[in-house]
Chains A and B, each alone.
Chain A
Amino acid sequence: MIALQFILSGMLAAATPFLLAALGELVSERTGVLNLGVEGVMALGAAIAFIIVYHGGGHVLAFAGAGLAGLLLSLLFAFATLGLQANQVAAGLAIGILGQGLSALFGKTYESLTVKGLPKLAIPGLSDLPVFGGLFVQDSVVWLSLAATLAIWATFAFTKTGLLLRAVGENPKAAHSIGYPVNAIRVAAVAFGGLMSGFAGAYAATVYTPLWADGMIAGRGWIALALVVFGTWLTARIFLGACLFGAVSLAGLAAQAGGVELPSQLLASLPYLVTIIVLGVISSNRRLLKLNGVASLGEPFKP
């Protein structure tokens, strides 16, 4: 019971880096652009945000700085792949390596330093519930992320913008012939993805574990990429997937605290193993992927 309470109260915070990055990547992939650089963009955002908070800039400025850095790095990716038609897989990997390198470079003198996180805000009434009360005590970024999830879901479900993003991803040629600037829309979507990945990194480094260590993103960007596939490009399912991964990453700690004797390396591998297994299960359902997938994903468009 204590373990369950522990997981419930921490799950959303643990899920937030996955969620923010996956939502950004969702928008980008919906328009047909696969940006594999999420891990590196998150790492860069994390370093920028940590440095800003460490020097007293505060969390708002830190998130703004991280978001901007993520946006700029993604625009570089957009320039290479959309402007110059470079291979999206290779360019994404290059951006990832570049972002991780810059992160390590900037963060070098901050190794093992800590900053103060954000206070938790409780929803009166709900937070006093037994067992589930912990769910309703979260920091402001978690609440904002939930709002962002809702906003993105509503955008895809109800608005013309959402329709347009889907249309560009499904059939860029048709979108072009009815007069939409396909590549401009894609650039905007990639930039949004970079912004969100920057936020995700900022959250990981200055709120969730406010301690700087090189490589602290530890594969979370890659898991966010996998989450988009798990969620079959649907906002609500991506949210559920992020929560699952939040819970999985806490399950290890909960198990250790509960005195379960497992090698710590197995617990550390748990999110990766779960990713591999879920990826296998979801992907084997081809119909599901075809119905919800993005037909032009990874394909360059030349008007």
Chain B
Amino acid sequence: MTAPLLSLRGISKRYGEIRANQAVDLDVAPRSIHAILGENGAGKSTLMKLIYGVETPDSGEMLWEGAPLTLASPAAARRQGIGMVFQHFSLFETLTVIENIRLVVPGRTAALTARIGELGAEFGLEVDPYAHVHELSVGERQRVEIIRCLMTDPKLLILDEPTSVLPPQSVAKLFDTLQRLRDGGVSVLFISHKLEEIRAICDRATILRAGKVTGHIIPREHDAHDLARMMIGHDMPEPPPMTPAQPGETMLELIGLTYTPDDPFGMPLRDLALSLKAGEILGIAGISGNGQAELSELISGEIRLPFDDREQVQMMGEPAGHLGPADRRKLGFAFVPEDRLGRGAVPGMSLARNSLLTAHPQGLVRHGLIALAEAADFTRRCIADHDVRTSGVEAEAGGLSGGNLQKFIVGREMMLAPKLFFLAQPTWGVDIGAATTIRQKLVALRNEGVAILVISEEIDELFDICDRIQVLSHGRLSPSLETRRTRPEDIGRYMIGAGAAT
């Protein structure tokens, strides 16, 4: 092996009690695609922030082309030739593409525009330089980020979970771009938790578990079982067994749901139709930003329709479009939103007080006053029944890990004994253990006759637990597809808006 481009020796970083990285070693060869594999919370993002100069390590040594490297800032990293594409992009929505690029790349606008065109053609990254970022799709935004990095002529390009925002077809295109970059002399550091894609594209891989390196390997020489064992210590858990659905009464129906958001950056929804019966799980696939946020607020009641349009949302057989969240809960509805902190839970409040948020009608309020003992009792049961790891009912919600807080919220909502249960992105940022638990509970609920709706970006997840899938793309909903008779590629076609053509 040639001398590495980048070497890390014994890098450690901690945030308070959490040891995000412990004595991490890493060698990235020139002209290679190198994967960092690990599940949510394994410390991948922290490591990338250290390499990109966003954070500084507590201890350890970094070498760049054989020489010691200290990075005080991302600007310093860029000067060395390190570029990064963030998972949640670092773009400014109200600015145009070219303005976003000017903030990072020196040069005159005309020259930059020409360069954007060249790079676009060379690497298959076409974008309109004068478009405002808020008008672009998620995939286009990713292209802007990659171009912005490429314009600083990096020797190393870091991509944080780049495929999570792409439909399957676009993933192939991204991989093609990355391979062209490697052949052009750029090394790529590719962060992911998806085993198959790492085997497909990466030359080498470093695997992280709980902040520590558990292996340096050549991915093609190992199968997914090996990778999983290194990543989580055992095989990937089996999806819960699915018996054929026993559909009951219709619990949720959208009839021509049409909505234009106030927010100019929002996605209008056009003529959505779906029907969900008791005892089945319906999945809504698609990349967020295609109307997912709007749809979830319309179903939860956080956005209420005008009284005249109330029939567009039917819950338990009643028109519900005009009802607020509390009234919908009275009908037997429960909801787990996509953002845990600040929406599903109040970070600065104790778990007991967070129980009150939606469970207050369960006898937690008496004569207008908070019934402290009952609230604590409810919370204790939730913690015990749903395996929430925490110091107790008085722990602040903001102090829990993503997976544990999600288990708390899912548990709290399940304790409302809903007839219709709606979850948006239930396993975003959740570790595999917690994600598996949550999926198992959903299938169990379905078997008990609850109607469940899941919005998710993870196609695999939807295939594991859903009876049927519909795709939300560009504010429109595809017809219902039976999971057993559908392949991921079919879903992908709807995601890029080409579903009807086949």
Contacts and interface: CB of A to CB of B under 8 A. Distances in A.
Does more than half of chain A's interface fall in helix, strand or loop, or is it mixed? helix
A167 to B, nearest CB: 5
B130 interface: no
A291 B264 contact: yes
Interface stretch (A45-53, A144-152, A168-176): A168-176
Given A160-B103, A179-B53, A179-B78, A170 B264 contact: no
B54 A166 contact: no
A167 B100 CA distance: 9
Contact of A287 (B84, B95, B262): B262
B92 A174 contact: yes
A164 B106 CA distance: 13
A66 B355 CA distance: 53
A163 B95 contact: yes
A77 B91 CA distance: 29
B94 A170 contact: yes
B113 interface: no
B74 interface: yes
B92 A177 contact: no
Given A167-B92, A170-B92, A179 B75 contact: yes
B265 interface: yes
A282 to B, nearest CB: 15
A290 interface: yes
A131 to B, nearest CB: 41
A295 B263 CA distance: 12
Interface in A228-281: none
A164 B264 CA distance: 22
Interface size band for A? 20 to 34
B89 interface: yes
A178 B262 contact: no
Nearest to A177: B90
B450 to A, nearest CB: 37
A163 B92 CA distance: 10
A130 B89 CA distance: 57
A175 B99 CA distance: 13
Nearest to B78: A179
Given A160-B103, A166-B95, A286-B262, A174 B89 contact: yes
Given A178-B74, A179-B74, A286-B262, A171 B102 contact: no
Given A163-B95, A166-B95, A287 B264 contact: yes
B263 A167 contact: no
B52 to A, nearest CB: 8
Given A171-B93, A174-B91, A164 B263 contact: no
Contacts of A181: 73
Contact of B54 (A171, A176, A286): A176
Contacts of B54: 176-177
B104 interface: yes
A43 B95 CA distance: 36
B86 interface: yes
Contacts of A179: 53, 73-78, 104
Interface in B62-110: 73-78, 84, 86, 89-95, 99, 102-104
Contacts of A178: 74, 90, 103-104
Contacts of A177: 54, 74, 84, 86, 90
Contacts of B99: 163
Contacts of B262: 286-287, 290
A166 B94 contact: yes
Interface in A165-199: 166-167, 170-171, 173-181
Nearest to A294: B94
Nearest to B134: A291
B93 A170 contact: yes
A163 B103 contact: yes
Nearest to B53: A179
Name the 5 nearest CB pairs between A and B, nearest first. Answer: A179-B74, A174-B90, A179-B75, A177-B90, A167-B92
17 contacts: A160-B103, A163-B95, A163-B99, A167-B92, A167-B103, A170-B94, A174-B86, A176-B54, A178-B74, A178-B104, A179-B77, A179-B104, A180-B103, A290-B264, A290-B265, A291-B94, A291-B264
Given A178-B74, A180-B103, 18 more contacts: A160-B102, A163-B99, A164-B103, A166-B92, A167-B95, A170-B95, A171-B90, A171-B91, A174-B86, A176-B54, A177-B54, A177-B74, A177-B86, A177-B90, A179-B73, A179-B77, A291-B264, A295-B94
